[in-house]
Each structure stands twice: as structure tokens, then as C-alpha cells.
Amino acid sequence: MTPAQTDIPNADVAESLRTVAVNSSYKASRALSKWFKRGVRLNTEGFQSVPITELTEAVGDPEEPVAAIHLVLAGDLTGDILLAFPERLALRLVDVMIGAPEGTSKSFGELERSCLQETGNIVGSAFANSLSSWFAADVTPQSPTFVFDMAAAVIEPLLVGQASCGDEALVSKTEFEFDGEPLDWRFVLVPSIESLAFMKSKLDHDEMRMRAIQTIAINGAFDASRSMSKWLRKGVRLDTGGFERVPLNEACPGSDTDEPAVALYTRLTHQLEGHTLMMTRRSTALELVDIICRQEPGTTTELDEMSSSCLLETCNIISSALMNSWAKWLDVHTEPGPPRILVDMPEAILEALLIEQAMVGDDVYMAKTEFSVEGRRLEWAFFLLPSPSSLRLIETSCS
């Protein structure tokens, strides 16, 4: 390794890993929810690059004890992962896992260590899988080990063992949320210099930029699922493969019937301008109304005032979540206006919006989505129709 390679800046890598962190949090949330048999969500804003000399302070008070789960990464990307919890929160997490009242766990015996190691295994594996997918690399996490000591004593062997880690590490402040109760912890990634170089080499590829666009939809769908679940007081999941940039003449979803579509749309203002559009078959929209109103399938047959209100609120929740994801990624401000509804053939709906928008680029961003609740799956298409200036903004930010 030459001296020049040791100076690889971590800022761009940290920005790229923000997407990996959010994606892995989404996957780990689902896995932990199944394991705990209760609602679990991991929240993170991504990674910050931290000088090695400040890593201990980033994890916690050097003189305070922490419980940590350590995983070694092997394969194309090598390094270390560390999940660090303050002692009190680690014991609280164990209580949650075993279904015991708060304060039951007093020390880290075999059961407590096993619970935390399994948590670390789930979170670390989700992150490694996201790394593997994002960078098209082989990444294999080794079996997790448990450490309980002062923060400085936990970090020191990590740095000694990873002698080629360079001058900086990557730290993510993450929050466990159990039924609305937050527990803060730290996720530390100490990659080898070779791994930093490998990740840096991947950042300029067109495929990487397209994955960024896809991830925007996945992150927004995750937030929309949570908001819809709270609104309907039942488990709701919005799945999507992500946004694709498609020509306008290919934007209309194919249909083998003459059934009209229902479109829910908003106008975007401020730094990101254009329209959002949610579109599905009329029968699918009516089925969604029955789900929202807790009615038997087939109860709703017309788009009256009540059913329209249900659909418009759905549009407000989902469009806001997806556009917040776009705005956060682009670091801009945008504001969806009040949602409106159209019922017509898909081609006529798109044409009407384009006329209203007056000026539009040649392409739109489309995300095929699936709305799942109580075992029922409803297919929708979500569109972002940016103005020409906003399209250029997206292209610039993702290049």
C-alpha cells in the first residue's frame, strides 16, 4: 500500500454508506420485529467520518462501561463492525427481548450475552448484505463476540487489530425504537485502507448512481409504511423496487382492460418542482377504501366524498414520505401541495398533468409499488414528473 493511498478521503464513502445504513436499518427492522414479535424500528441518518483519535468519544464516555458486539468482516471488504450500547440501555434491551419488566436484568450473564449477540448478528448481517449488494462485493460477517468494559478498553483492541484502518473510522448514531420507546446506541465501521479504496473506486459508476435513485424510493416507502400503519392502526407495508427513469411515452402502465384509472396527484413547489402522481385501477382504489374503512371487500362501489377523502389522505401520506426522501437525498426543500384526484384512462391523466405543468422534460421517474395489508396486495404506480430545472438538479446531484 503506497502512502498516497492512505490519504483516501472518507467523506464520499460516508455519503454513499448513508444509503447502505438506511437500507440495512430497514432490513434489520423487519428481521428484529419477527424475532421480538413486536414492532421494532432502527432509525439512522447514516455515517459520519470520525478521526481515529476521537473514536472512543464518539462511542461514549471513555470512563463509562459499554456493552459491545464485535463482528469481523471478511471477503472483498474487510474491517470491523462494532455495536456499542451504554450499560443501562443494553440491559434494558435484554429485558425487552425476554419480555421481562424493566430492571430485571442486572448483569451480563450467558442469557444476556446471547440475546445481545443475536441482535448484533441480525444488525451486522443486514449491514453486510447491504454492503455486498451496494458495492457488488463479497462481504461475509464472522460470528459476533460480546465485550463489556470501559469504552476506551473496548475500542483499543479494535484499532490495534485493524492496523491498516487509516486515520478515520465511520460512526452511525442509531436508535432502536420499541413500540415508541427509543434506545440510543452507536454503530461503528472500521474499514481497512484496501476496503476504503475499493469502495471509493465504485462511487463513480453509473450503476451506483442508479442504485441511489432506487434507494430513495425504498427509504420513502419505509417511512410511508410506518405512517400508514399508525393511521390505520394495523400493519401496512409499502414495497417497491425503487425508481426508474423512463421516457414519457413509456410511462403509462399497460392494461388489458378498458377500466379507467384513479390518479392522486400533488403539485411540487420550491427547489424541487413538478408533480407527484399515484395511479392504479379504479377497482384497486375502491378496494383500498374498503380496507381503510374496515369494510367487507366490494362494499365501496363509487368514489363518493368519503371514499375520495380516504384516498386523498393516503396520497398525502405516501407522497409526503417519498418526496421527503427525495428532498433529504438532494439536500433541497420541496413541498407537495394539497392532493387532488382524477378518474380517467391513464394516457388522458398523464396528458392532463403535462398540460397543467406546461413545461416538462422528456423523462419521468416511476416506482412500481405494492400496498400490503392483512394479506391483501394492491398494485400502484408512483410517478415523479419533475420540471426541466428540477430534472437537471436530480441529474447533477446523482452524477
The residues of the chain scoring below 70 in pLDDT are 1-12, 14-16, 19, 45, 159-167, 179-180, 203-211, 249, 252-257, 356-362, 397-399
User: How many domains is the chain partitioned into structurally?
Assistant: 2
Instruction: Choose among 46, 329, 335: nearest CA to 211.
Output: 329
Same domain, 149 and 45: yes
Same domain, 372 and 350: yes
Residue with cell 409526503: 320
- As given in the structure block, the three cell numbers for residue 87 are 450499560
pLDDT, tens digit (0-9, with 9 covering 90-100), for 274-287: 889 999 999 999 99
pLDDT at 304: 94
- Looking at 167, 202, 237, the residue that finishes a domain is 202
N residues, the chain = 399
Instruction: Mark out the alpha helices in the chain (DSSP H runs).
Output: 11-36, 55-59, 87-98, 110-135, 151-161, 193-202, 206-232, 282-292, 305-330, 346-357, 388-397
Determine the pLDDT at residue 282: 94
pTM of the model: 0.61
- Domain co-membership, 151 together with 239: no
Q: Residue 317 in contact with residue 220, Cβ under 8 Å?
A: no
Indicate whether 367 and 238 sit together in one domain.
Answer: yes
230 with 348, same domain? Answer: yes
Could you tell me if 243 and 375 lie in one domain?
yes
Domain end residue (candidates: 202, 224, 258): 202
One domain, residues 327 and 381: yes
What backbone phi and psi angles, to 5 degrees, belong to 264? -115, 120
Q: Which domain holds residue 220?
A: 209-397
CB of 263 closer than 8 Å to CB of 342: yes
Q: Does 261 share its domain with 351?
A: yes
Mark whether 40 and 79 lie in a shared domain: yes
State the pLDDT at residue 9.
46
Question: What residue type is 315 in one-letter code?
Answer: C
Residue 177's pLDDT is 79
Same domain? 222 vs 177? no
For 2-51, give the DSSP string: -GGGGG--SHHHHHHHHHHHHHHHHHHHHHHHHHHTS-EEEEE---EEEE
Quick one: pLDDT at residue 12? 62
* Cα–Cα distance, 199 to 293 (Å, whole number): 48
CATH number of the domain to which 335 belongs? 3.40.1550.10
Single out the residue in 164, 182, 202 at which a domain terminates: 202
